[in-house]
Amino acid sequence: MIFSVANKKVELVKIIRNGIVLVLIFGIALIVINLFSAKQKIIECAICNEGIRRLRYNEFDYGLILAICAVLSIIPSLIRIIKNQKKASAQQ
C-alpha cells in the first residue's frame, strides 16, 4: 500500500524502477540478516559436541526476519512520500 501511495502520479518506468529497488533491498536485507544469524549460531558452537550444533524447531524467528526486511524495503517509499508532501505544502 505504501508503495502504491508513493508511486501515485508517476510514470510507468519509474514505478518499475522503484519496484525493482524495493525487491533488491528486501533481498539484500534478507541475505544479510540471515548471514549474521547463521554466524551467531556458528559462534555458539564453541560448546557443542564434536563440532556439531543441533538446530531445534523454532530456533530461527523467520516472522521477525521477514518483518524487518519488509520495513527496510519500504523506507525509500516512505522517504518519497515525505518529500512529495513537503513539496506540495511548499507550493501552497
Listed by start position, the domains of the chain span: 2-83
pLDDT at residue number 84:
79
CA dist 24 and 47 (Å) reads 37
pLDDT of amino acid 28: 93
Residues in the chain, pLDDT under 70: 1-8, 46-49, 51
Task: Calculate the CA dihedral of residues 46, 48, 52, 54 and round it to 10 degrees.
Answer: -120
pLDDT, position 41: 77
Give me the DSSP letters along 27-54.
HHHHHHHHHHHHHHHHHGGGGSBTTB-P
